[in-house]
Structure 1
């Protein structure tokens, strides 16, 4: 088995043991263009769930701030934050699952080619 094919596929399989860390190290340490290309793609695929996670984190902070401020302002906090948090949590879980499956598929494809 070719070492560059194995390293290229490990970039994708790193979603299991070291997401983002392993592909970044390989990207900066490897001098071979095909391995660097696979490392960059693996990083981008593994960053996809970060977008709904950041939105979920921002919504959680906004909801916590609304509940913290409620006794002082006399306003009742709305339940809209909870519904949006639930939607974002499902979106994050779906993105995480899709990124995982995409990385496994791409890792197998890189190993075979």
Structure 2
């Protein structure tokens, strides 16, 4: 995965409405109109958000007659989650150690 593609995925996940739509299609396909309604968006706005998620590779789309059915690409979402876990692991461990050391220092004072 290129750095640019990873950035696109993270940017796609930055919007709460897009995250909500992604959660809705985690286990089942849903049409764009249902996603728009559930996310409280106009169909036009939802379409733009769905395109961004699709372009980032986080959604798959299947055409069924005149409907487009969306579903999360769980493999790609797992890749992003693994990247973020690795990104935050060391800084969070250092923060935890610093907080524990500070707490131990205060307890001994």
Greater helix fraction, Structure 1 or Structure 2:
1
Give TM class, smaller chain: 0.3 to 0.5
Greater relative contact order structure (CA < 8 Å, 6+ sep): 1
What is the TM-score when the length of structure 1 is the normalising length? 0.35
Greater strand fraction, Structure 1 or Structure 2:
2
What is the TM-score when the length of structure 2 is the normalising length? 0.36
